[in-house]
Copies of this chain bind each other. A is one copy, B any other.
Amino acid sequence: MTNGVDGSPDDHSIDGRRRNQTSAEDARVARTRADVSAAALEVLTTEGWDAVTHATVARVAGYSKTTLYTHWPSRVDLLGLALDVLGEMPHHTPTGDLRADLIGEMTVFRDAVLSLRLDRILLALAHWGATEDDIARVRTRLVADGESVVRTVLGRVAGGTRLDAAVAMFSGAVICPVLMYGETPTDEVVAAAVDIVLHGVSTD
């Protein structure tokens, strides 16, 4: 809706025509933004962030490089657009069975690394987040979202520093094999990680 700040939907004032032009312009910019966002995310996840350049994203989105440079002058702007449309992280829905819920959530995370190429998104966030405040904020939001289920489920049996260590270890059990060996962990490694941590944080 573009009713103006007075909120009147039936505005017949002298400003009406100009406002309609602005509305059409806004819609065009919004459509361009959506197209470019989708293209930037596609390039990021299929080719990595080295490929997220104005030339490549313009080609994939079907716009001119000039249009992209006009609205989003830097490569970080393009990365920000890509992350804007990434959406929520996929999650396992907890059932109340501690072990099954942790294995389920780690399995969803592992599979999302492959299907959404979360490893490439994480690499881009880690690289740009170190120097760009906007990207660091996106990173913080995505990581908090990504960790939320493990943190809640595991929070039933651990807290404080032990919870922080356990959450980092669960993330690491999935992401380290991807980053360091180029392969995701097997079901057996996921289950072993859950069993080690559950046994490890128990008080007996």
Contacts and interface: CB of A to CB of B under 8 A. Distances in A.
Contacts of A197: 169, 196, 200
B162 A168 contact: no
A182 B199 CA distance: 29
A166 interface: yes
Interface string A165-181: 11011111101111111
A139 interface: yes
Contacts of A198: 200
A136 interface: yes
Contacts of A97: none
Contacts of A179: 122, 125-126, 175
Contact of A127 (B48, B139, B190, B196): B48
Interface residues of A, number: 48
Contacts of A130: 48, 182
Contacts of A108: none
A162 B126 contact: no
B173 A192 contact: no
Contacts of A105: none
Given A123-B126, A166-B196, A189 B161 contact: yes
A6 interface: no
A26 interface: no
Nearest to A129: B182
Nearest to A162: B192
Given A172-B173, A173-B165, A196-B197, A126 B136 contact: no
